[in-house]
Structure formats: C-alpha cells, structure tokens
Structure 1
Amino acid sequence: MTERLLITRLGQRGDGVADGPGGPVFVAGALPGETVEAEVEGERGRLVAVETPSPSRVAPFCPHYGRCGGCVMQHADPATYAAWKREGVVAALRHARLDAPVEPLVAAHGEGRRRATFHVRRAPGEGRPVAIAGFMAARSHEVVPLDACPLLVPALADAPALARALGEALGGAGKPLDVQLTATAGGIDVDVRGHGPASPSQRRSLALLAERLDLARLSLHGDVVVERRPPLVTMGKAIVAPPPGGFLQATAQGEEALARLVVEAVGKAKIVADLFAGVGPFALRLAERASVHAVESDGAAMLALDRAARQTPGLKPIGVETRDLFRRPLLGPELARFDAVAFDPPRAGAEAQARQLAGSAVPVVVAVSCNAASFARDAALLVAGGYTLARVTPVDQFWQSAHVELVGVFEKKRPGQRRRTLG
C-alpha cells in the first residue's frame, strides 16, 4: 500500500521516521522535513519517491548504496550525519537518566577501514556454481556481490577478489564462508571462518594460493596455514603482531582517537589497569607514561601484547593477565592499587566489572564502548556508586553506518581529595 508520509526525524538506524495513525513508520533513505511516497507494511516503509527533498539530501557516492546494508546515511550531508550520530549517544544517556556533556562527534574514518569481513557464498554460474563475495543486504541474509568498497583503505582495494578466490579454493564443501581481511604493514592478513578443518592437501593448495595472492598470513578459524610475512600493526611506539583473527579497531585513526582520549583522561596516573585490553592499543600507549596492568580473556592477544611490550624500549612495565572479566571481574581489593582504570568491553558491555568499579575508590575510570545502550547501563551503575560522568565523546570510525564508538570519563573524589580537573 503506497502512502504519502511526512518525515519528522531520524531513527537510531538512520531511517526517516513518520508518525502514522498506527504509530511510527520507518523509511530507509528518507530525511527529516521530506514528504515521501512509500509502500507501507506494518512499521516499515519502502521509499518510492521523494516529493519534497530536504536541503540536506546529497547524492550517494557508492553505486551499491540502497542494496548493500553496510551504509545507511550516504544520502545525508555531513552536518546532518554528524548531528544524527551524536544524538544517538545523547538519547541513550537520556534514556538512562544520565546528565553529562556530550562533545562534538570526532571524525575518525581516516584513510578508511583497515579490516573487513566479506561473506562468500556459492551462486549459479555458467555450467557450475561460482563464488560471490560481498556484504549482507539491509535486514536480510542475502549477500550483495561487490567488486569494491569505497570505505576500505587502498590496501584492501582487491579485497572482494581475494575473498572470491579463497571461496573458489574452499568451495567444494559448499559451506557459507566469512573471510576477514586486515591491512597490515606486512601485507594482507586473512582469516577464513565457516569451512572447518582443512585436509593436508587443502592446506598445501591454500599455501600456494596465499603465495599467488601475496598474502602476509592465511589462517582457518585462527589456525595458521601459512605466514609469509609477519602482519604487523603500529600502536604508539610499539609494533604488534596480532593473533590470527584477533580483534583490531576498524580504522587506524579511530584507534588513535580512542587511545588519545583514554591517555588524556588518565592524565598523570602512575598505575593504570587496562581491562578488556585486547592486543594493547591503550596499554602500549599508556605505558609511555605509567605502569599498566592489562587484563584480557584471549590468551593469544595477551601473548601478542606481552611480546610487543618486551620488544619496545622506553615503556614502563606492563603486566598481563589472562582472565574472563565477565565471570571474574577485578574485585575491590584488586582495584584499590590503581590510580585509574580504563575498560573497553565488547558490545554487551561490562556490567559485572562496572558493579565492582562502582564500589571502588579508583579516582578515574575511563569507559570505551561501541554500544551506546550498554555504555549507558554501565555508566548508570558507576554514577549510582558515587562517580560523576564528567564528559562523553562520540568517535566515528564506522563512517556511514549506525555504529558509533564513545569514550566516557568518570571521576570519584577520595576523602580529603580535591576534585581533579579534566583536560
């Protein structure tokens, strides 16, 4: 059913929102102030035509926009886009009844995303199925085939072709594959998921393919098939070789922006805990001025961090601990020795650890998050425990998507201590 709708605002996922008689209607590709025609089914509307375009409307820069689900706001100008992303953080804090200044959005796309995961599937071809590689369509499990993605760093310009080649080599099992490609100083690091263990002959074929494709490293489910060159990443003064399939921030500039905010917030603290530390994007930079205790559940990441720390001159000591902070958060007596704590959990947040921090006397806590809702929940726990949420800074490394990173700085005044001035 086609309806004429007036778009009044943007939703959290970038959809234009109209107020219909039965409730809100979400229309992808529409902007506030526009009158549009849309085919409406339930709460969703498919944009048919824009009758009165917004002055904020611009032409998308990718030919796949609208089908590929990776981007949601290429049709909006930079000011509208930045305001929408920041408002998502403001709304999450408001929902949790948290009052804190929210800084302007920090642009952190840089040269582009240094890592991407392509979904590889089999599709009908001339005479036999062929591999296709791409991203999922919006609200769908359908793969949109891609030859290029303008959001990636130049080193990943051939990423879809590399993913297809690996899909062809592993296509005999007919399984859907996820191919993660990361641009590193040593070349492209690839981890393939979904295939399962490879036979000795498959491993030999994959090693030869890695040679032909000039990959730095190729692994299956984290199991290294061949490493031709170390896949190295610079973090502050240190050079890290992440474990196969390990986590990295999406963009180099995003990592630098988040780390800068963490280091600035910690200030002159002498002993710092870095929780959910990964391979050390914060710990290695913090150690340029403070002793650091890094905690992470991934043992391989801890080994990579420890190796990088030992090989980097001029750093203060970094202690590493492999520990599941969801099940075994650092407790009050363990937290008592730290002048500051930084934590950067997965999207689910760090509720158990936040509860322990809330009851502690750590003067400064810095929370990094990729999910405004779970951040707000954890922040509310800290505030209830006596912390002041001094500021929140949204960081945009997932350009054109609905995802936003953020850094929140919390202060707790010790008895007889003056309030610390941030800056």
Structure 2
Amino acid sequence: MSERRKLTKRCVTELTVTGTEYTILDTEVQGFHVRVSRAGAKSYAFRYKLNGRTRRLKLGDAAVLTADEARKLAIEARARFQRGEDPAQERKDARDAMTMNRFWEVYYTRHAEPKTRPRTLVEYERVWMTALKPCLGTLQLPALTTDLLEKQIMERHRRTPYKANRALSLLSAMLSKAVLWGYIERNPCRGIARNPEYARDIRPLSADEHRALLRALDEERREGDFAAAVAFELIMFTGARQGEVLHARWAHFEFHADGRAFWNKLATDTKQKRVARVPLVKSIADRIRVLHAIARPTDSTHYICPSLSDPAVKRYDLKSPWRRVRKAAGLETLRLHDLRHDFISSLAIQGVPLETVGRVAGHNNIRTTQRYAHFADAALEAVTAVRGEMLANARARPGSPQQEGLKFHDH
C-alpha cells in the first residue's frame, strides 16, 4: 500500500532512491501522487478510475514542476474527470492527432519566438520550410522513428551534409520539447550520427588580393551600392560578422572631436551576446561620415546599411553587391566571411597575443582562436630567426660589432 504525505517541494526533494519504483500519494488531492523510478527520476501524475478502468495522467517531471504547480494541474484534471471527461484519453487522442505541421506552430509560439534571437528565428524558419516540412510535415509525432528520420533527413540530404546537420539539430530540439510537453515518450533523433564537418582552410589575403579587392570596393562605391561597400570595409577593418554590420544603426557610432571614433555593438547584435566597443581607424570612420552625409538619416535608429526601399528596415543580406565586388576583384571564390578570417589571421601574423586576438574577434572560447595559432607560430619563428641570424653573423665575423657586443660572464 502506497504511503500518504502532503506533497511539498521539501518532501519531494527528500525522497530517496531505493532501487525499486514507488509512489507517494498526496493527502490533500485524491489521486494526485509522485512516482519515483528505480533510477531516481521523479514525476507527478493524477490517477482516477473511469468505467472500472484505472487511468493515469502524467502531469510533469519534478525537475520541471514544483509540487504546488503539479497539484493545481491535478485539481484541474480532477474537475474534468468529475464532469465526465477522460483527460488521459483526451491527451492521447490529441497526441495521436498532432502532426509535425501542427507541432511546428506549437513549438514556434511556445518556445522559438519568445526565446530566440530574430536572426536565429529566421534561420529556423528557413530550415523548417526547406528541409523538414516537405518530408515530415504531414506525419504524426508518434509515427516518427529513428530509422525514418535517418532516411528522411540524413540520406535525403546526403549531397548537402551541412544542411542535413542543421535540419537534424532543429528537429532534435523540437522533439526534445515534444518529450517535455508530453506528446511523445522519447526523442527519436537520439542515436542519429551527424555528418562530419570540416573547417575550410584559413589563409590571409595576399598583398595583390588586397589591392584588387580595395579597387573593386572603390568601384562599388562609385558605381554601385555605397552603403554595401562601406559595410564590406567595416568587416575588413574590424573583423565584424556580417550580421553585426547589418544590425548596426547610426546611434551605435560615436565620433569625437579629437578624431577618435567607436562602434558600440549591442549585446543583442553580437554572437557572444555581450556589448562590444570597437575602435575605428580614421579611414573607415571617414567613410562612415561620408555615408551619413549621403544617406541623411532622419532617425538615429535607422540602419547604416538598410533595405534599399526603407532606411528603417534591416537589409536581409549582402549577396548581390558582394558577388559584384568579388567578380570585379577576380576573387570569385572569396566568401564575405573570409574578410573576417583575413582580419583575425593578420593580427596573429603581427604577433598579437592569441588571447587579445580572441577578444578583438569576439570569440567566446579560446579554442576558436586556436584555429589561427599557426599564424602566430609563424610570427614567433620569424622573430627567433632574426635573432638566430644575428648570432650566426656574429660568430662568422670575428671582431664584428655584434660579436664585441656579446659579453659572457663566469659564474
């Protein structure tokens, strides 16, 4: 016979693992109880009898719900039962009828929209519409199996392995919420191996490539999209991400009488979700001033590189002007993000400590900056080579100034 106690937060927390499953009944609400599994997982439920059959409605895990919250749900379920309803069967029917299309709406409204940054939300919508909805939208949640998902996601998109990985990540996040919210018992994405992802080779641009690119940017400013050209230079001169530049507003820039200028990035606009104050070199600061004079923004909240139709609307991307620029420069394979890599690698080549490089680049983790470590190694090797050559010359020329400058002390 199950023990009875008033279920409180303290009571549930103190329940111990015994190696066997057991149940503690609440003394206040009939049918309300907490179950402790053999492994120690604790969950609240409401138990009732209908037409001679015992029914059990799971209310939620104790790790998510407090005892008081679960008791309120039990009271609601009991009221429905007393009205002749069958809450457990109704949940099962709703779960069985829940298609992926419907669940996407639930997930979007309940979790994604209120808790995700706008840029990430746009990416989620794109992945859902292009990779998940076409093959899974009409399927019911309980019909999703690991084998089915592996075929529909990983095999279907085997020619685009990175796309398959993004789709699997979003789907797994959705189905984890489906488990938490009681629609399914387990996440069928677990156990599906993701495709290996290989980082592209990172190299700084050569002097000739820099010249060609800067000439192409000059041409874009004169003949094409002035604002886009300035955006590209901002990336070149600061190592900013494209999204940070597209979110930059006039109010974020700060100009001083002594010539100093800064770009104050908001935490909501940076990948690391931290504010950043970026000093601007004179050439790019002057370029932004010229852009301001041309754009004549009527509101400081307007974007510096806005939609071509409305200065108050953010531009979606810079693909079209970037294609023109790289074609004019003869650098057809150069990605816009490669300008950021070029900036970061140039700092490492100049011997800037990797920790400082990471801060300037906005890396959350030093391991990300380690991708550029070989450039720093090359800079150190060059320094030690200069010292080695000096000593070699001193040894080769007796009486040379270098040799006379070397003093050895007996200890």
Q: TM-score over 0.5 for the alignment? A: no
TM-score by length of 2: 0.24
TM-score by length of 1: 0.24
More helix as a share of residues: 2
More strand as a share of residues: 1
